Every structure is written in C-alpha cells, then in structure tokens.
C-alpha cells in the first residue's frame, strides 16, 4: 500500500505547479459537490452525472487522505548511524547488501545500474554528509556523481532512494530500497 501511495503523489518543478494542481483539484471537488446536490435536490437518483460526480468526489477525498498519510510518514532528513544501514536492502528484483566493514554486494537491475553508474558484484559504501550514502564498485567511473543514495525514513523505517534529481520536487516519489527484516 505504501508503494501505491508514493506513486500517486503529485510532483512538479513547474513554477506555480502546486498552485495549479490545487486549483484543478478544488474545481473537481466543487463541480462534484454541485452536481451531487443538484441531482439529489431534483431527485434524480439514477442520473449518470450523479454517479460520475460521486466517484470523482470519493477519489478526491481518497487522494487527500493518502497525501496526508504520506506526508505524516515521510522524513527526508532522518538522523541515522552507519550501523543502522548494515544489512540487506531490496527494491523490486534488485538486492544490495551493506556490510559493517564498508563493503557491499551489489546485485541491481540494469536500469538502477545505469542510474547509479556502477556495476554488479563487490563494491564499497560509506556515509557522506548527514543524509547520503555513496556506493561504488571496483569498475566504477570515478568522474560520475551518480553514485549517491539518500537515506530517508518512511513509516519509522529507513529507505534508500537514488539521488539523481536536481530539485526535491523532481524526485519521482519512489520509496526505493527497503531494508529486509527490519
């Protein structure tokens, strides 16, 4: 369910994009309420417009509830220690094992390897700054800055997301790697 909620979150870096989205959402809610009330007042209980408006209103309210739940559960700047990250991490069919000695077993999908600009196999990891993790393999292109993972917290559990966005509004919303058995 958490993955679905993260997928439906609206993200944009367009100037006034959130304002435009909010105005559109409010327009849909106002249209739905107006049509529901008109159809009920006129006793048109089987009107297709009533069912469409009701469905849109339910979806709109559901979206707001999901957005509130998502924002309550996400912490983009958690405090953590390197020892909190040790263990096995999964993201779809990709696996990442972070060991206490700073080594890693990297077994990622092709798309994740391209985004991170690393290779599968043995690798290394270390905490960088307050919220980031650098991951590299022996065959890595050291010129690349794509090897950065950001540690976030969702529902009191750490998650690793690929930090290949310039602005947080451009983040795709994916909750990324989830620690196995924690």
Model confidence pLDDT, tens digit, residues 54-91: 999 999 999 999 889 888 999 988 999 899 999 999 99
Q: Which percentage of the chain shows pLDDT scores above 90?
A: 46
Cα distances (angstroms) measured from residue 176 to each of 2, 7, 21, 173:
11, 11, 25, 9
pTM over 0.85: no
At residue 146, the pLDDT reads: 56
Return the residue matching tokens 């040790």.
86
Model confidence pLDDT, tens digit, residues 101-144: 989 999 999 988 888 888 888 988 989 888 888 888 765 555 55
At residue 182, the pLDDT reads: 67
């Amino acid at each position: 369910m958490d993955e679905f909620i993260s997928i439906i979150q609206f993200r944009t870096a367009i100037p006034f994009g959130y304002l435009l989205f909010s105005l559109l959402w409010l327009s849909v809610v106002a249209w739905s309420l107006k049509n529901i009330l008109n159809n009920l007042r006129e006793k048109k209980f089987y009107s297709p417009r009533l069912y469409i408006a009701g469905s849109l209103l339910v979806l709109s309210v559901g979206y707001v509830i999901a957005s509130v739940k998502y924002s309550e559960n996400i912490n983009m700047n958690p405090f953590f220690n390197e020892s909190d990250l040790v263990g096995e991490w999964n993201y779809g069919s990709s696996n990442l094992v972070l060991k206490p000695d700073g080594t890693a077993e990297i077994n990622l999908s092709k798309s994740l390897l391209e985004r991170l600009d690393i290779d599968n196999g043995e690798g290394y990891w270390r905490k960088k700054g307050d919220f980031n993790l650098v991951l590299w393999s022996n065959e890595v292109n050291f010129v690349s800055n794509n090897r950065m993972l950001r540690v976030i917290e969702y529902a009191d559990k750490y998650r690793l997301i690929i930090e290949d966005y310039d602005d947080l509004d451009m983040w795709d919303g994916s909750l990324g790697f989830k620690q196995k058995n924690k």
